[in-house]
Amino acid sequence: VAVATERLRALGYARAAIAVTRTPGCFTDLAVAVALGPKFKIATIDFATADQFPTRDRLAVIEDALGTVNTVGGIYVEYRLARALTRLQERYRDAGWLDAKIAPPIARYGDASIAITIPITPGPRFKISAVRARGAGAKVRAAVLDEIRIEPGSWYDGLAIRNGIERARRKLDRRV
C-alpha cells in the first residue's frame, strides 16, 4: 500500500490515499479504495536567499525527468527534490560558497497547484588566495598549474580545478 501511495504521489497526486479492508470468510476478500484527490502542478519555485548564484542554474539542477518533475508546470516529487538539493548544495560549494546550507523545501498547496520555497543560507563566498602544486618535478607542477587556469583573487571554482587536474593527467599521461 505504501509503495502504491508513493507512486501515485510521484505522479502528481499529493493527497492520494489507499485504504485496504479485509473481510474474512471462506476466503479472505480484500477491498481496495483509492482516493486520488486533485493532480497538483508546480506554480512557482522560489529560492529564499540573497546570493548571486544564478537562478536559472538552480532551477536546472533541481529539474528532473526532462522537465516534467520538480519544475514550474511539472509535478512535485519530494524525494527527488531532496536528492536534487544535495546536488545543488555541491554546486554552491563548487562556486565558492563552501559553507552553504540548503534547508528542506516548504510546499504550500493550493487547489491544484503547489508553491515551493527553498531556503538557502549561502554563507561567505571564498576567493582563491594562492594556487600551488606540490610534489613531482618542476615541469609537472608547471603543467598542472597551466591547466588549472585559476588566478589568485578569483572566486573558488571546484569544477574548474577538477577539470584542470583531469586535463593535466591527459596531457602528461600520468597521475597527478
Give whole-number Cα distances, 131 to 54, 135, 153, 156, in Å.
Answer: 26, 14, 10, 11
Q: What is the DSSP string of 24-74?
A: -SSS-EEEEEEE--PPPEEEEEEEE--S-S-HHHHHHHH-BTTTTBSSTTS
pTM above 0.85, yes or no: no
| Alpha helices (runs of H) in the chain, residue ranges in sequence order | 2-10, 55-62, 78-94, 138-148, 158-172
What tens digit of pLDDT does each residue of 93-152 get?
999 999 999 999 999 998 889 999 999 999 999 999 998 888 888 988 898 899 998 899
